[in-house]
Amino acid sequence: SPKERDIAMVFQSYALYPHMSVGDNMGFALKLAKVDKDEIEKRVKDAADILDLTEYLDRKPKALSGGQRQRVAMGRAIVRSPQAFLMDEPLSNLDAKLRVQMRAEIAGIQDRLGVTTLYVTHDQVEAMTMGDRVAVLKRGALQQVDKPQVLYDNPDNLFVAGFIGSPAMNIAKGHIERSGDDWTVTLGDSKLTIHPEALERYPRVKEYDGRDIAVGLRPEHFERADGSGIPDGQVMRGHEIALVEMLGAEMLVHFNTSAAPIISEDMREAVDDEEAFAAMERDAKKGGQRFTARFDPGNPPKVGSTFDIGFRTEYLHFFDADNGTALR
């Protein structure tokens, strides 16, 4: 039965008893289980040491910050010494800065305790930074499970490709053609020569000669092509700059292309933003879409100007345009 599975749970809601002290909240489940009082005190003290809550054990929850309350909720689970933890979006109620701090704390606690932890989240950044292995689900169906870097480098389908990575992967309709010993993909007005490494990773691309497929280009694999000597087969020319975001350590450049977007339910769910998806649909009717590129800061292009941009084609991703599966 569920109660015999020895799983401790931590939820989005702290669910602390307001009339009890921090220590009593943490030890309450053990008290109900009729654990010896000295053992309860020992476990609560040990958990408080791990969570940096020792000086707060006699305080009521209302005297704590949001992050401290979440640590109390975790302490309540830790004192049980379970076989596994189940954490269901435990950081959702916290502000952005505190979420970053708590991500690191939870990962460190899990590492020290060595207890298997299933962490449920809609935030791909949390999943990628905290997980040893990440399972991506869509409507309850498992899409892919692997190490975070493998999900990023080798997504199994369009949903995973669009979901993992920030900013998200640019995905467009491309036309595959063989040209002598080379293979090319045409994205709107741009034709790129596919690097042999990409063909090794996606060998089924060669089965799509003369056909349309879905092509993925991550923002971080673009290069500025102004006088850099990038080969013609890796350059997309004459694109209008729509927006430049200066973010201190990096610069995001949004530029218009004639590449047709992939409009599908997989993409709608991967984007997970109705306004953004509606913009994609509007772009599709115009016959193009907006791409995002990430560069080091410095010498930003002017909005409204046109520029040439290179792409490292060894990092291209390819998917079936109809069912979204990777062409591996």
The model's pLDDT over 86-127, given as tens digits with 9 standing for 90+, comes to 999 998 888 888 888 889 888 988 998 899 999 999 999 999
Nearest to 246 by CA among 295, 292, 291: 295
Q: Supply the CATH number for residue 83's domain.
A: 3.40.50.300
User: What is the count of structural domains for the chain?
Assistant: 2
Q: List the single range of 50-54, 172-176, 273-277, 318-322 with lowest mean pLDDT.
A: 273-277
Residue 103 forms part of a structural domain: yes
pLDDT band of residue 313 (cuts 50, 70, 90) is very high
3-state DSSP assignment of residue 107: helix
**Whether residue 122 is found in the same domain as residue 178:** no
**Total Cβ atoms within 10 A of residue 87:** 22
Residues 117-165 have pLDDT tens digits of: 999 999 999 999 999 999 999 989 999 999 999 999 999 999 999 999 9
Q: Which residues of 167-186 are buried (b: 16+ CB within 10 A; e: fewer)?
A: ebbbbbbbbbbeeeeebbbb
**Whether residue 295 is found in the same domain as residue 249:** yes
**Whether residue 196 is found in the same domain as residue 279:** yes
Q: What is the mean pLDDT of the chain?
A: 91
**Whether residue 162 is found in the same domain as residue 258:** yes
pLDDT over 90 at 328, yes or no: yes
| Domain, as residue range, for 113 | 2-132
Residue 128 forms part of a structural domain: yes
Residues 231-262 have pLDDT tens digits of: 888 999 999 999 999 999 999 999 999 999 88
Q: How much is the pTM? A: 0.86
**Whether residue 96 is found in the same domain as residue 166:** no
Residue 147 forms part of a structural domain: no
**Whether residue 114 is found in the same domain as residue 58:** yes
Q: Residue 258: what pLDDT?
A: 93
Report cis status (omega within 30 of 0) of the bond before 231.
no
φ/ψ (deg, to 5) at 193? -85, 125
Residue 325 forms part of a structural domain: no
Distance CA 16, CA 76 (A): 9
**Whether residue 299 is found in the same domain as residue 218:** yes
Distance CA 120, CA 135 (A): 10
Residue 113 forms part of a structural domain: yes
